[in-house]
Every structure is written in C-alpha cells, then in structure tokens.
Amino acid sequence: MQPTYIVRSTTNQRENNEDSFQIFALMPGIERSPITILAVADGMGGHAHGAEVSREALRKLSLALFEQLIVEPSLNNLQTVPPPNAQILSQVMFSALEQANAYVKRMVEANQWGKAGSTILVAAILDNLAVVVNLGDSPMFHYQVSQRQLVKVTEDHSVAGVLLRAEMITTEMARYHEGRNRLEYYLGCPHLPPEPPVQQVALAAGDLLLLCTDGISGSVSEEQIKEILAESGSNLEKKAEQLLTVSQEAGETDNQTLILWQHLSRF
C-alpha cells in the first residue's frame, strides 16, 4: 500500500535549516473522526533564531489544538460536547494561531531577537474537509483530481501578495517582485490580518494537498506544480523529488520543506 503523504525538508545550500514541520493525528473521542494536522513553518531571524522560532511556533500551536480539541471537551463531559465541524474547527484553528502569535512575540522580545519571527501554515483534515490557517508566504495548493485543476488555497501576506490581490501585478510578476520577501503578517508580528486567514476546502478521493515553504513556491511556478502533481504515472515520492529538483535547477538556494498529502475519502 502506498503512503498517503510524504515529507521532504532540506537545508539546500544554506548552513542551517530554519524550516520546521509537524504531522500528527488528534482523536476527539470514541466513534468520532480523527483530525489530521499538517503544518510547516519557515523561521525568520537568521541561523539559530529562525530555526528555534519556527520549531517553538509549531510546538505552541499543536499544544493549543490539543487543549481545545481534546482536553477541554473531555473535562466538560465529552457526551455533551458536539463533535468538531467546519465552524468549530475554524474557530479553534484561529484561536490557536492567536496563541502561537502571542507566544512568539513574547519569546522574541524576551530574547531581544529583533525582528525574528516565522511563517506558519496549518491544515486540519476532518473527514472530507480541510480547514487551513496561515500567516506569511508559506502556501498550500489543492490539486483537484476530477477537475485536473490546481487551486492556491492561501494568500501570501507579503508586499507582493498585497499588490497581487489588488490586481496591480500578475502572478508571474509577484514571483520576482522586490517585495515578495517582505512580509506584512507573520508569527510574531504586532497585529493579525483584519480578516481571519482561515480557509475551508472540500476534499474528494485522490485529491492532493501541497504545503510548502517559499524555498519551493518561490522558484516553481503554479503551472509547473500543476504538471508535476497531475502526472498519473508517478507516486508521491516521485512528485516530491521532482518539485525539489525543478526548484534547485531554477537556482533556489533557500531551505526547502514540503508535505504532499493524498486524500482518501472517508465515505
């Protein structure tokens, strides 16, 4: 049986890997569907600071999810607590993001790390639904097998991303814009976006989710990503390796992390 997901994380041409990732499952209770958590983070601040911030950010967020989805319902009599749904999961994900942001701000200030911070991208998969939250420019793509269509689920919180959403530049221009690496929102920033950065995605059997840092998305176009994910003759491992290869051949030197998930329908 082929795996339903694969992870790749490499320093590439850097000395240290400031990227972090997590994959784990939460079990809300007997006869309730498990919730799979996929997460990547790209630390900012240079060397050890960036690596520590991204790692601690994911640790704090995962603890917040565990407390809200597992511990609190158990303490409040699980039988009287409704099972997680799209609305509940969206609220929990945003609350966990707020907690992680506050934690990173305190950590950076206490250690006098200047403008250190981290991007974050988290997908919570429940049955045939994915709830996604993000800050920064680590994107998630959804390849819909039945439609042979690639959708970028998240918005980049960079200067280039702002211009793109305002239709002042094109997608291709955003890849090379001087503001592509200047983030408007990230973990550790003073304020979160005015609109909660939470998305809901309906999943069908065979669909693919690609979560990655900008060491992949910054050098591989959406058209190239679509072509790689659409290849019917390649398994997840080959697709992941091809994404890394195309990126490195394009001259990418940054750390590279990706999670490639294939959805298996629950019904």
CA distances from residue 250 to 14, 94, 192, 219, 243 in whole angstroms, order as listed:
16, 35, 33, 6, 11
Q: How far apart are CA 221 and CA 244, in angstroms?
A: 12
- Asked whether residue 267 is domain-assigned, the answer is no
- Asked whether residue 207 is domain-assigned, the answer is yes
pLDDT value for 134: 98
Residues in the chain: 267
Domain range for 234 is: 5-262
Q: How far apart are CA 196 and CA 182, in angstroms?
A: 20
Residues of the chain with pLDDT below 70 are 1-3, 46-48, 76-82, 266-267
What predicted TM-score, i.e. pTM, was given to this entire model? 0.92
State the CATH number of the domain containing residue 46.
3.60.40.10
User: Is the separation of the CB atoms in 145 and 135 below 8 Å?
Assistant: no
Q: Give pLDDT tens digits for 201-234.
A: 999 999 999 999 999 998 999 999 999 999 977 7
Q: Kindly write down the DSSP assignment for every residue of 89-140, as one continuous string.
A: HHHHHHHHHHHHHHHHHHHHHHHT-TT-EE-EEEEEEETTEEEEEEESS--E
- Asked whether residue 32 is domain-assigned, the answer is yes
Q: How many domains does the chain have?
A: 1
